[in-house]
Amino acid sequence: MKGWVGKLDEVAASARSHVCVGLDPDPALLPVADVLAFNRTIVDATRDLVCAYKPNLGFYEALGMAGLEALQATVRHIRSVAPGVVIVGDAKRGDIGSTARAYARAMFEVWDFDAVTVSPYLGRDSIEPFMAYEDRGAIILCRTSNPGARDIQDLPTGSGPLYLRVAELIESWNVAGNLGMVVGATYPEELAEVRAAHPTLPLLVPGVGAQGADVSKAVRAGAGRMLVSSSRGLIYASRDPDRYAEAAREATETLRAAINAALETD
């Protein structure tokens, strides 16, 4: 059975891409009113340039039932036109075992995501329900891209800052080979430190584009299995209703080229 990591390896090689497009529909930024039409257009314009799409559930939940229906139809569209591309549900789930089992069923059996972002704060038993789906997996928060990450993730432990201890735990939990980590591009030194200690784990690397991280530094720091994620910088490259698809494709091509150039330089 090919899991999501094997799927990622295949599409990254075939598309020569580590680009993960965040599908985050913000009504204040959308060039068209119909969320599903917008998502389908973005996917159709970029599907040969990416390794993954990452819808953030918060944006869909904020739109009520119409948003959730658009999310469901978006996933189905990606499966139809880009079956080899990984779909990451950016949900950041984390709860006790019984609730975690319900979350895992929802993420994998209802929404049909290949992988889902998960918080490690409740420990291994909150992660195990996601690990149990061997063809799917969890991408666990380790060193997030936001400025407030330092408030908790830098707290000292007996083996260094907390984020490094979290990375060690994720490695030890990865018995089924279906776990990854979120490590932000906005912290390239920390990203390099995590990658050096964990050379084979997939890394979801947010923070390029609107968050301002340096693509080359991040890519060189995290080189290996990685999904370099950008949302606003790609999908809202233009807000012109007649041009946003073309602009999204151009921005995605530019990001893919920058990533590949950094890898070749490294």
| C-alpha–C-alpha distance, residues 56 and 60, integer Å | 7
| C-alpha–C-alpha distance, residues 195 and 1, integer Å | 27
Residue 2 annotated as catalytic = no
Tokens of 27: 């009504």
Question: 208: which DSSP letter?
Answer: B
Q: Exposed, middle or buried: residue 16 (CB in 10 Å: 0-12, 13-18, 19+)?
A: middle
Q: Give the residues across from 140 on adjacent strands.
A: 118, 181
Alpha helices in 174-223 (DSSP H): 188-197, 215-222
**Neighbour tally for 230: CB within 10 Å:** 26
3-class secondary-structure state, position 253: helix
Residue among 2, 7, 54, 92 flagged as catalytic: 92
What are the C-alpha distances in Å from 52 to residues 17, 125, 173, 230? 9, 27, 24, 11
- Residues annotated as part of the active site: 92
